[in-house]
Amino acid sequence: MTARELLQQVAIDRGDAEGLLANALRVNRAWLFAHRDEPVDDSCAEHFMEQARARAEGEPLAYLLGYRDFWSLRLNVNRDVLIPRRETEHLVEWAIERIDAGAQRILDLGTGSGAIALACKSERPQVEMCAVDGCQEALSCARANGESLGLEVDWLYSDWFEKVPPNYWDLVVSNPPYIAANDAHLSRGDLPAEPALALIGGHTGLESIDHIVAGAPDFLRPGGWLLLEHGFDQAELVAGLLRTKGFSKVSTRRDWSGHARMTGGQWLN
């Protein structure tokens, strides 16, 4: 069977099908167009059809491929970690701005695949980067990504700030769980396959963010910053938490779609 015939047989998005077939054949997608009428090895064809069926049943493309491209990096991902989103690249941009303004000791809370920490480290290798997660399996994935990319990060198993050195960090950055436990979005798209601990922030969705905001002042150096990703409708609430705790220069930034997606502030006390 040829590549063209295989692609015609599966009932999934054409781009997803091409990505899965290219992955099965260990070629790039351009190769498929140049060689689409050449026979495909039976074992590769069978593997492709199995993955296409899994995709049709809702398995995320990133988990099937085993990777997701984020920033300028290719990160290995699996069911133990949240799939990195393009929106989170804006949080990386903001973090790099703070690094260029003088932040040298950076803490990434809830690192998952290591996306934020590794993106920042790849752009500014001189910084001291520590990445925390409370899931050993997620931390193993992040550590493996760091090793494969040759980027030095201190990977720390910790329940948020539990094992983190206090009064030390110039910047704390986090994409924490922020979806409410009963949110209908949890049953849509890729979310049912992703780890609930990385998605659900509690009954209201804000519990993890509230915990981070409450604890951060004990870990930031004077003048340090806290930057948080959150839901598209949570900006005012997160800004309120930061101001109530005593953070200054609180501001919100928007994502590619124009949604208010991340909020941060400076600790001056």
pLDDT tens-digit readout, 126-173: 999 999 999 999 999 999 999 999 999 999 999 999 999 999 999 999
Is the per-residue pLDDT at 266 higher than 90?
yes
pLDDT tens track for 2-18: 999 999 999 999 999 99
Confidence (pLDDT) at 114 = 98
Return the pLDDT at 60: 96
Mean per-residue pLDDT for 106-115? Answer: 98
pLDDT band at 33 (very low <50, low <70, confident <90, very high): confident
pLDDT at 30 over 90: no
* Number of neighbouring beta carbons within 10 Å of residue 214: 13
* pLDDT (average), residues 69-88: 96
pLDDT of residue 201: 95
Q: Where are the domains of the chain?
A: 3-57, 69-267
**Residue-level pLDDT at 49:** 95
* Average pLDDT of the segment spanning 191-209: 95
Mean residue pLDDT of the chain comes to: 96
pLDDT at site 186: 93
What's the pLDDT score for residue 224? Answer: 98
Q: Which CATH topology does 69-267 take?
A: Rossmann fold (3.40.50)
**Mean of pLDDT values over 232-255:** 97
